[in-house]
Structure 1
Amino acid sequence: MYKLLAVCSLFLLMSCSTKQSTKVPCFAWIGGPGEATDTELSENFKDLKEKGIDGLMYNGGHDPAVYQRVGKIAKAAGLEFHTWIPTMVQGRDKNIPAELYAVNGNGESAYDKPAFVDHYTFLCPNKDEVYQYLSNLYVSIAKLPEVDGVHLDYIRFPDVILAKGLWEKYDLVMDKEYPEFDYCYCDKCKADFKVKTGIEITDQAEARESQEWKQFRQDLITKMVNRLVEDVHRQGKDITAAVFPGPHSHAVKMVRQEWDKWNLDAFLPMNYNDFYLEGTEWVGKMCKESTHSLNGEKPVYSGLFICPKPDSKAKEADPENHGLLPEELGDAIRESMENGATGICLFTPGRMTDEHWVEFEKAIHKEYLKK
């Protein structure tokens, strides 16, 4: 059994009334290596291990050689090593034709007119060439002995509904679905939808109200994930994903992620409460929904968003510089664990202050009763 699942199974086998007697499993999203030397990487990884991090979701680009190098150092430090690589967002890659990018309800391609920010260059999940590109990428990395698993991100459509805490930043009110943020309306998606349902999309506004059309696109993402699961599993490795909270309260409605239908080994919902203008109790609510949606059959690691500058949070206009204060971190971990999470994942250890680490140390060694 893979190491990730071995750790998780200890918690899954416990009844709701049984105390957890071991340390909370803790992962961290982290990127690099940049210009860091092997010695610098080793010192950083050993420090994270000593602080209680058990494994990394590591973003280092597409080059297998990078993951081979960094993975070897992470393993020597006693850390699990999972490669964190975006899925549907691939930038403007010379190896990906422009016609493979998703198209919004106004007929605009994410290639040259992406939603929200320039890096939202989403691919269309309904193109087999996209699947082949992603499969080749993930398999080439999953084959590495230094890699414990592949971690998917941006495995979704663009936000048709943006988290409420981000509305002011982008000067938007997203109280309903708008065509410029609604994907994918490419010719293939519309044609395949007609073949499957007999419904021809001629009126975009009418289509946006169609549950069949929403479900069709949710199924496209699910199909992509489950094909990639098979590919990675054939290499004997785990496959996980960072997902939106829920799934049905947020992920399905916001980005078409019906992730309780995905055959992943574990799920890491991004329970970033500040983005939703919520407190730490909301983190617990999301964990409960996640674990119930999966019938307790798959591990859930609660993703926690850390405030990098606690002293100036109240003055910070950009919500992406908000996050959990040191005095909130323990509550967020407790809410996660009491509501069914197997562990937690930090975004990111680089945002953690000394005060965060003090509270983290206290929280991960406590015993929690699952509700």
Structure 2
Amino acid sequence: MSVSPNRTAIARLGCLLIIPLLAPAIALPAAATPPVIQGVRQAPVVLGVVRSADNAAQWPNIAARLQGSEYRVIEWDQVRSPQDLAAVTVLFLPSVETIDSAQLLALEAWMGQGGRVIVTGAIGTRSSYGVQQALRSILGAYWQQSIEQPTRLTLPRRRTEIWVQQGNTRSAIVGGVLGQSGVASESIATWGSVGGSTDQAAIVVTGRSVFLGWEWGEMASEFDRTWFQAAIGRYGTLRAGRAIEPTPTAATAATGAIAPPVQPTADPAEQVVPAQIQVQPSGQPISAAEAIAMQQELASLIGRFESALLSEASAGSSIDLAALPEDKSPDAEITPIGNSALTQARQILGDFPQLVRDRNYSAARQQWILARRTLWDNFPTDRPIAQPEIRAIWLDRGTIVEAGSPEGLAEVFDRLAAAGINTVSLKRSTPDIRFIPAGLRRSKIPWCAAGTRWRQRIELAHDRDMELHAWVWTFAAGNQLHNRLVNQPASYLGPVLAAHPDWANYDNAGNSIPAGQTKPFLDPANPEVRQYLLSLFDEIVTRYNVDGLQLDYIRYPFQDPSANRTYGYGIAARQQFQQLTGTDPIALTPSSPLWPRWTQFRVEQVNSFVAETAQLLRSRRYRSGSASRSNLLLSTAVFPLATGDRLNRIQQHWELWAQRGDVDLIVPMSYAMDTNGLLRLATPWLTRADVGSALVLPSIRLLNLPDATAIDQIQALRDSSAGGYSLFAAENLSAGLETVFDRTQGQAALIPYRQPFQAAALRYAALTREWSYWLGQNQLASLDQQQVWRSQATALGEALDRLAADPSEANFDLAQSRLRRFQAAFPGWMQTEDEYRVRTWQNRLGAIADLLAFGDRRRPANAPAGVEETQR
């Protein structure tokens, strides 16, 4: 991939200069590299097969070719450290094109500990430039170019290794030419004839890797199998068996006896992703992969810093994109962005590779830490930003109690409003919100007084132009931590289960509260539980003037079948499943043939309940005499785990809820101690097309999070396609953050999910101000492209403004078609621009597209029958 000479200093210094440091930092000592033509001793292989978004389409073919073999499925997006690969000895990566720096570090460290790999296809080609260069050193080869015509493989003469001879050389296939990298790599098969040449590498090996030069899973199955078996034979023997999913299914003995559960060490629901890159002053060597990760982290931080500067500088610009002269820039009207912290950080980024090459590791780390701290300390926080966004916060019980009085709580809402928060999710504690379950006398719970307080809190929000959504625990029925506050024993399951013990859910050991966790759960399969919750929700949205309902704990508790910890054995669930299958699920083990069906049964209990809740809220969105109210929104707080892992562990299939249109807002709990971790959790769900028209609102956990990191994480979300952010929780909102928010956000007059078309127009206007500002410094597309770009940009702005003023079907179709055309052409116009800035602008265009889709679903013409949509 060529790099334009006009690429910015970040790209030139942060990517290109890393090449010289790769080989010496990662090369193995000569004695440690076995002869590549030798086979490894025949020992049992523990195989891991990587499943990723890149090979999802081929996965059925991959699984079919591996049928009869025992292997562990490795969810690639869950790999962050070598420990994540510790259970396998050989890793198979079929067509894994996307690898980030953390995965690269994990792979390198695992291979350094003795791990071996088999790779196929265009591995790493969709990764960053630095990662691609490091992979060349680690694997000894890279995907150089595709071959258009089917071609046979040719083995060199005199090659006698048995494992090589087992491969198929009879079939002609479409593959790719492999380039070799490093003296330790060797081509052991070539393509018969490519472009007149007969020495183009098809298979390259090193002492630690086998690289097959074709897309495994797309060729004839017999061809794929023979070469895979040959490659495995190089390392050892593969056991017969079956696939073991990420939650392994071999948790029990062959006799079916249930082993004692393994006790967890921490509640997985409370875990936060640790910092992905932890740099401390040290003189220890910096490996090639570590250098890449550090450079990418600093370059990304520089990109976010500059993005914030640009938004701030252009916010007050009155320059019109269409009005700028085509033959020159109004340099006199615009002051170029200049910032000493930014300049210093760029210089350090540029110097970093040389410090590593010189083995001056101590200085490299010190300078890197200095650059990061300088940027954090000087993040632009003195002027308002210029785009509407959702700014939500969870208002916890602790903050309410600490307020002490209605006047004290009014001060809390005053501070939130001044900070620009526009959506408050207010928690109702168990004695407050769960009203009276069937069979309990209403006189036993002072719900009337609680209802008065609830109405007061709703008014506090509405008086400040904020929305208030009822935050409810769905299937979690109590909390051992809360028991301490009300002088109840740890065994107390809460008022609901105390009155209805037959509603309880249980783990496979008979506990309602799973080991290592603190909350008992209701049985979602119990019809009385479902009716109780739906009646409760109905009372909330009809009796109180709330703007929405947020479902939390809309799942089963965390489980780990590999440790014999499973859950869901409520009385109703066991009876229903036995009626369906003839088997009591408590008798099943994860290796049982019926286990997938038992998992799907539990998943469907949650799915169907979300659908019923959505139908309830749709029927209540318009009520006689309340046409001025906002429409009721349904949101869900969810875990951003990989789909397969999530279905196995907590039975939460929230993508399906979004696809079906059951939910309006998805709030992934993307809690991380640094920005890399946040983006790793949130980005996959912001870029996927299978979440329907729901808006995805990543969340940030403020507990123990430094203010500088919180600000950086918010900026990262603003540079993504997210429509805003959610903060957990109010009790952890520091005075420092409140001050920053007061200056940069202020009170927002528009909430995007209420006025999506107006928000889209305003966000686009902010984009055009940035383009105008940058164009004024001759920093955008070449002059011969500007006329087309300006024309389409102006036309798009006009269409969005027209839609905001009149949300008719014709105006929507016009705005959507112009936006799609503009998005398709945008990368071509911006070829010479900085990669981070262009990606940020593309993300923001994506956010505008999401707002249009969301607004279209909620337009009156598209509302469900009997529902009239209104806007605040």
Q: So what's the TM-score if we normalise by structure 2?
A: 0.34
Asked if 1:77 is matched to 2:476, the reply is no
Letter of the 1:342 partner, please give it: G
Given that residues 247 and 289 in structure 1 are in contact (C-alpha distance below 8 angstroms), is that contact kept between their aligned partners in structure 2? Answer: no
Distance across 2 between alignment mates of 1:188 and 1:245: 29
1:303 to 691, 699, 709: 699
Determine helix, strand or coil for the equivalent of 1:56. strand
The one-character-per-residue Cα deviations of 1:142-163 (angstroms, maximum 9, x if unpaired) are 11452101111111111115xx
Aligned residue runs from structure 1 range 1-371, under 5 A: 21-32=386-397, 33-34=400-401, 36-61=404-429, 62=433, 63=447, 64-91=451-478, 92-96=493-497, 97-106=500-509, 108-110=510-512, 113-118=513-518, 120-161=519-560, 177-180=562-565, 182-196=566-580, 201=585, 202-207=587-592, 210-236=595-621, 237-246=632-641, 248=643, 251-262=646-657, 263-274=662-673, 279-291=674-686, 292=688, 294-295=690-691, 297-307=693-703, 322=704, 324-358=705-739, 360=741, 369-371=841-843
CA RMSD across the alignment: 2.8
Distance across 2 between alignment mates of 1:224 and 1:80: 25
Structure 1: which 5+ runs fail to align? 1-19, 162-175, 308-321
Given that residues 207 and 213 in structure 1 are in contact (C-alpha distance below 8 angstroms), is that contact kept between their aligned partners in structure 2? Answer: no
CA 1:116/1:306 → structure 2, altered by over 3 Å: closer, same or farther?
same
CA 1:304/1:195 → structure 2, altered by over 3 Å: closer, same or farther?
same
CA 1:208/1:355 → structure 2, altered by over 3 Å: closer, same or farther?
farther
Pick the structure with greater CA Rg. Answer: 2
Given that residues 221 and 257 in structure 1 are in contact (C-alpha distance below 8 angstroms), is that contact kept between their aligned partners in structure 2? Answer: yes
Distance across 1 between alignment mates of 2:675 and 2:707: 12
Determine helix, strand or coil for the equivalent of 2:469. strand
CA 1:203/1:197 → structure 2, altered by over 3 Å: closer, same or farther?
closer
Distance across 2 between alignment mates of 1:234 and 1:255: 29
Q: Larger deviation: 298-307 or 88-97?
A: 88-97
Determine helix, strand or coil for the equivalent of 1:143. helix
Distance across 1 between alignment mates of 2:706 and 2:613: 37
Given that residues 325 and 356 in structure 1 are in contact (C-alpha distance below 8 angstroms), is that contact kept between their aligned partners in structure 2? Answer: no
Once the two structures are TM-superposed, the CA of residue 370 in structure 1 deviates from its matched residue by: 4.6
Question: % of aligned pairs identical?
Answer: 21
Distance across 2 between alignment mates of 1:90 and 1:370: 43
Q: So what's the TM-score if we normalise by structure 1?
A: 0.75
Once the two structures are TM-superposed, the CA of residue 247 in structure 1 deviates from its matched residue by: 5.5
- 1:165 corresponds in structure 2 to none
Distance across 1 between alignment mates of 2:745 and 2:460: 25
Distance across 2 between alignment mates of 1:39 and 1:265: 33
Given that residues 246 and 289 in structure 1 are in contact (C-alpha distance below 8 angstroms), is that contact kept between their aligned partners in structure 2? Answer: no
CA 1:231/1:295 → structure 2, altered by over 3 Å: closer, same or farther?
closer
Once the two structures are TM-superposed, the CA of residue 304 in structure 1 deviates from its matched residue by: 0.5
Once the two structures are TM-superposed, the CA of residue 217 in structure 1 deviates from its matched residue by: 1.2
Letter of the 1:81 partner, please give it: L
Given that residues 329 and 360 in structure 1 are in contact (C-alpha distance below 8 angstroms), is that contact kept between their aligned partners in structure 2? Answer: no
CA 1:301/1:159 → structure 2, altered by over 3 Å: closer, same or farther?
same
Given that residues 239 and 265 in structure 1 are in contact (C-alpha distance below 8 angstroms), is that contact kept between their aligned partners in structure 2? Answer: yes
Runs of 4+ in structure 1 deviating by more than 6 angstroms, as ranges, are: none
Structure 2: which 5+ runs fail to align? 1-384, 434-446, 479-492, 622-631, 747-765, 768-839, 844-872
Q: Larger deviation: 224-233 or 349-358?
A: 349-358
Distance across 2 between alignment mates of 1:109 and 1:86: 20
The size of the alignment, in residue pairs, is: 314
Distance across 2 between alignment mates of 1:94 and 1:330: 40
Distance across 1 between alignment mates of 2:387 and 2:470: 26
